[in-house]
Amino acid sequence: MRFFKNKLAVTVIVLSVTFLSLIVYTVKRDDKTIVENGTSSAIKPAQSIVYKATSRLKETLDFFLNFSEVKDENKKLTVENEELKSKLIQYSDLEEENERLRSVVNFANQNDNYNYIGCDIIGYSGGNFLDGYIVNKGENEGIKKGMVVIAAKGLVGKVTTVGSNWSIVQSLINENIAVSVMVESTRESTGYLKGYKDNKNRNLAKVYNLPIDSQVKEGDVIITSGVGMIYPKEIKIGEVVSVEEDKIKVMKNAVVKPYVDFNKLEELFIVSPKDTREIKY
């Protein structure tokens, strides 16, 4: 039985080789007999099939023979792609940082009676930002208790404790901080702002002591008034989200959402007056 199987295999191989040889021979010859022409016509479809199969086989063999090179090239492209992604993120971060710094520079140019000392947050004085930020500048850099701290988007708070090379900054959403403010649109400057937490437990601020006939409204911008010269005038603080009437005290209060996101602070600037003779911290 095994003999017949081997014989059949040999027969198939021989016939296949003969058939392929015949195809090649008939293709290469220019002068063909009528019989050969007929045979050639009959085997042309087979030639096409064999040609296509051979081409595909060659492509497959080329792929496997060059698989190692393809794999290496793919790995190289993957690394390059990751590097480009990383550079894109770095570029985006730098662009955002430049935009933040540009905002501070523009403000500084309009308020040149002050020096602006850049500092980094290195920790919290308590469990979170409500207790205060620890920054890496202190007495060695001329920092004093009571100095104002700003960020690109507006007022952050003020310095409450100073060490030789560190300080603690209390944010304006803390109820211990009070800031003299005014309504940008009406220029009313009788109010003061303190930290406030609403019934949804959101960290906001509230302007107290506005006159009962104040035109303050939702959407108005609250800025520093500059009274006392400790806070530079017109530092942006936030936007009014609601207005309350206190009929007993005959005044209005305005709830304010600060522009600064106190969870995502990066660059801070301590505002140091150039002339401190009339300033009492």
Asked if 262 contacts 154 with a C-beta cutoff of 8 angstroms, the reply is no
pLDDT of 198: 86
Do residues 15 and 120 both lie within one domain? no
pTM above 0.75, yes or no: no
CATH code of the domain covering residue 136:
2.40.10.350
Count of structural domains, the chain: 2
Please state the φ and ψ torsions of residue 137, each to the nearest 5 degrees: -130, 145
**Residue 94 is assigned to a structural domain of this protein:** no
If asked whether residues 116 and 45 sit together in one domain, one would say no
| Torsion angle of C-alpha atoms 25, 29, 32, 37, degrees rounded to 10 | 60
pLDDT per position as a tens digit, 176-232: 888 999 999 888 887 899 998 888 888 899 999 899 999 999 999 999 998 866 788
- In angstroms, the Cα distances linking 57 to 20, 45, 61 are 16, 18, 6
Mean pLDDT computed over 242-265: 91
58 and 144, same structural domain? no
CB 23 within 8 A of CB 46: yes
Domain that holds residue 37: 2-65
CA–CA separation, 262 and 132 (whole Å): 10
Q: Are residues 59 and 156 in the same domain?
A: no
Residue 7, domain member (yes or no): yes
Going by DSSP bridges, is the β-strand pair 133-135/267-273 parallel, antiparallel, or unpaired?
unpaired
Same domain, 127 and 226: yes
At 21-69, the pLDDT tens digits run 555 555 444 444 444 444 445 545 555 665 565 666 556 656 665 666 7
Distance from the first to the final alpha carbon of the chain: 110
Q: Are residues 122 and 186 in the same domain?
A: yes
Task: Place 92 in a pLDDT band, splitting at 50, 70 and 90.
Answer: low
- Whether the CB-CB separation of 275 and 113 falls below 8 Å is answered with yes
**Structure token pair of residue 41:** 């016509």
